[in-house]
């Protein structure tokens, strides 16, 4: 999968792309991250990409021309979807990550300052937000999208089951995890995890996922993700809104 990232700060991505899972995925050619410097498309002799807003007001606005030309250059006659990391978009979640992972190639536009010239939206397919908080720019949000989507691409993780068990993939928060030592400061690993009984371990993990989700994020509990056994267990826990 190809991620084309349009940004005025490409160096911000160097750390995440040179480490851990993404580094290995790039080396295996499972993903490609094409960093496009929007400044390279500026027609200003000083390579400016921002200017004062018409009508006055605080801050600067990213200019239409450099972004417009950068997007068109990357598209190069391909119908590559453009996603803008901005505050007015729908919140990014695991469902959206799965949706994006189905593409062979996408363009991610990183906003900055007070945003982009409204005319850029004529080339944008969808705006995506990380949540109701303020970031310096879209680069941090773009990194999160790349990392999240890459994990869903076959071969990036050692086993596909690695992401299937993670929080949010199946609509629930992940179950508790333990590793050595078996006992630490009097706190023991649950006996079922040491039993070798995989059926019981699977059952325990599912129930713990349900308990954790009910306690921390009951808004995630959706009947379409739940089995009849799940519903019965939630009722035993005192949850009836299902």
pLDDT tens digits along 37-57: 999 999 999 999 999 999 998
The confidence band for 25, taking pLDDT boundaries of 50, 70 and 90, is: very high
131 is an annotated ligand-binding site residue? yes
38 is an annotated ligand-binding site residue? no
132 is an annotated ligand-binding site residue? yes
171 is an annotated ligand-binding site residue? no
**For residue 221, pLDDT beyond 70:** yes
Q: What is the model's pLDDT at position 163? A: 57
Q: What is the model's pLDDT at position 225? A: 85
pLDDT tens digits along 59-97: 999 999 999 999 999 997 788 999 999 999 999 999 999
68: how many CB neighbours lie within 10 A of its CB?
A: 16
pLDDT tens digits along 168-218: 667 899 999 999 999 999 999 999 999 999 999 999 999 999 999 999 999
3 is an annotated ligand-binding site residue? no
pLDDT tens digits along 106-165: 999 999 988 999 999 999 999 999 999 999 999 999 999 999 999 999 999 987 655 555
60: how many CB neighbours lie within 10 A of its CB?
A: 16
41: how many CB neighbours lie within 10 A of its CB?
A: 20
CATH number for the segment(s) 165-236:
1.10.1270.20
pLDDT tens digits along 5-19: 999 999 999 999 998
Q: What is the model's pLDDT at position 64? A: 98
Q: What's the topology of domain 2-150?
A: Alpha/beta knot (3.40.1280)
Ordered by start, the domain boundaries in the chain are: 2-150, 165-236
């Amino acid at each position: 999968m190809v991620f084309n990232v349009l940004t005025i700060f490409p160096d911000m991505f160097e750390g995440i792309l040179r480490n851990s899972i993404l580094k290995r995925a790039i080396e295996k050619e499972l993903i490609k991250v094409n960093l496009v410097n929007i400044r390279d498309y500026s027609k200003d002799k000083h390579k400016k990409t921002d200017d004062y807003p018409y009508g006055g007001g605080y801050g600067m606005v990213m200019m239409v021309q450099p972004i417009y030309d950068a997007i068109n250059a990357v598209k190069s006659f391909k119908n590559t979807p453009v996603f803008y990391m901005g505050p007015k978009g729908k919140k990014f979640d695991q469902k959206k990550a799965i949706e994006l992972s189905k593409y062979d190639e996408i363009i991610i536009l990183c906003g900055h300052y007070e945003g982009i010239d409204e005319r850029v939206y004529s080339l944008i397919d969808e705006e995506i937000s990380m949540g109701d908080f303020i970031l310096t720019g879209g680069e941090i949000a773009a990194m999160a999208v790349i990392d999240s989507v890459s994990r869903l691409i076959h071969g990036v993780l050692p086993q596909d089951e690695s992401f299937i068990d993670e929080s949010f993939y199946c609509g629930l928060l992940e179950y508790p995890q333990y590793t050595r030592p078996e006992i630490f400061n009097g706190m023991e690993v649950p006996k079922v995890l040491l039993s070798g009984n995989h059926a019981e371990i699977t059952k325990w993990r599912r129930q713990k996922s349900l308990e954790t989700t009910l306690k921390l994020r009951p808004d995630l509990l959706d009947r379409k993700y739940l089995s009849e056994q799940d519903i019965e267990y939630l009722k035993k826990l005192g949850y009836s809104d299902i």
